[in-house]
Amino acid sequence: MTGAEMLVECLKREGVEIMFGYPGGAVLPIYDALYGSGIRHILTRHEQGAVHAAEGYARVTGRPGVVLATSGPGATNLVTGIADAYMDSTPLVLFTGQVATDLIGSDSFQEADIIGITMPITKHSYQVRDAADIPRVVREAFHIAATGRPGPVLIDVPKNVANQKAVFEWPERVFIRGYNPTYTPNPTQLSKVTEAIRESRRPLLYVGGGVVHSGAAEELREFAHKTGIPVVSTLMGLGAFPSADPLFVGMLGMHGTFAANRAVMECDLLIAVGARFDDRATGKLERFSPHSKKVHIDIDPAEIGKNVAVDLPLVGDVKRVLSAMLPEVGPVGTKAWIDQIRAWDEQWPLGYKAEPGVLKPQQVLEMLWDATRGEAILTTEVGQHQMWAALFYRFKRPRQWVTSGGLGTMGFGFPAAMGVQLAKPGETVICVAGDASFQMNIQELQTVAENGLPVKVAIINNGFLGMVRQWQQLFYDRRYAESRVGAPDFVKVAEAYGIRGLRAQTPEEAREAIREMLAHPGPVVVDFVVPEEENVFPMVPPGAGTDEMIGRWDD
């Protein structure tokens, strides 16, 4: 069996049904082995589209997304997506072609040191030098990508290794010396945390994407209801706790709700669950939650104390940690605390100023939520539209929200929606995009059309790099340097790819366009034209504390 045939056999044994990629000379032996293998290959129109599609697939299934790209530029085109997956703890297994082993290091045609380039943004990487190693390497790669804190693993395959013949030996078990994630929490630390919860008067759960990754949403709900502790969420944690639950306060951070940020400032016990204290959530670290004792629950010990000093660390899988704590906790007596949070929310509600005949972006998100009854899976690009989606579409369940949180990658949302739709063919999948970010990977309209994927694209079109313009308005005296971005006629672009295109400029037109979009069985692109200078509020200015929010929607 050749190395390429071994690789395909390994993918079958790992249960891979779909992979994303783009062929080239160095991976032709692998593509030849894939031909007729039964594994569905989705040919994207750019390698970046392939890796983001694989991220979307992985985010809604919890299984590693698989990508194949050629050497040199094919491999380097994956880099943004690999960094994105690394920052958001998304499991991927990526195969890159490489020049033959005797040419490595000679600057030969389409050679790039992809191992060196991606070392800081992968959980692990391999370069295979002997075809006989392929089964072990692939087995280990899938194991590493999906266990512990999930992440991307890269396997670089030189062309002569793909052609080399060897005996196929599939390892039934994986043993990797030095790789042993901690799943079970330390019982002494766990007792200290439950005692801190019993003693607290204003506790707060601060939940992140780790709750989603570990499948701990049910345990989180039970824990919050049993103790009566209110919940705030990071951008990546949305959906881990139902937005409609009375204990849900909202998203915290730069564009979090006033009540959520105020609760973080005033709580006496902050329990971070699968969250990593990133700067968009904390604001100025010196002013972050100054009155609280801090608990940090995370499977990655490297995150403990990285950004914020914590009093009680609990290293372990979130699902196991919450399950272990549930029998040990009871009602904390948080009625007065919750009443105070509700009073803040009533004083500073989330909203916007509606104007007759003018379509506001927040209205579009509210209409999408209403028309889908909150059941759609949303992907987003990055920018103002992303924040409006986070604030105005109320999520019911985990893995319903797919966005680029850590790296903030424009061009992520549309190809991610393709991966989501392939993983969940029976679901309504909507990509909420900005007019600028949609143009980053607009070529994937052909992939959508070719594969008949019924992805719906809602473009919030304000003619600008919206978030850049908002910062220029607020902090650079309205000097809009290079933030106005021209765009094509999106309706005609969609139609050129054989996809239905619609446009809406008023609330009435938007409601009708959404009805048509959801009723159409195939892909649809809707261009929602909104005011240029609508801002995302509330907002914590960069470098400020979360108690220094500016801008109310009704100012």
CA atoms within 13 A on the CB side of 17: 7
Residue at token pair 């990629």? 21
What's the rounded Cα separation, in Å, for the pair 186 and 183?
10
Closest of 255, 260, 244 to residue 280, by C-alpha: 255
How many residues does this entry show for the chain? Answer: 555
Residues acting as catalytic residues? 47, 109-110, 159, 467
What's the rounded Cα separation, in Å, for the pair 149 and 59?
13
Extract the tokens encoding 412.
């992520």
The dihedral built from the CA positions of residue 424, 428, 432 and 438, taken in this order, carries a sign that is: positive
What's the rounded Cα separation, in Å, for the pair 179 and 512?
54
| CA-CA-CA-CA dihedral for 430, 433, 435, 438, to nearest 10 | -90
| CA-CA-CA-CA dihedral for 33, 39, 44, 48, to nearest 10 | -90
Integer angstrom CA distances of residue 543 from 26, 306, 390, 440: 47, 18, 22, 29
Beta bridge partners of 529: 461
**Residue 173: exposed, middle, or buried by beta-carbon count in 10 A (0-12, 13-18, 19+)?**
exposed
DSSP conformation class of 555: -
Strand, helix or coil for residue 169: coil
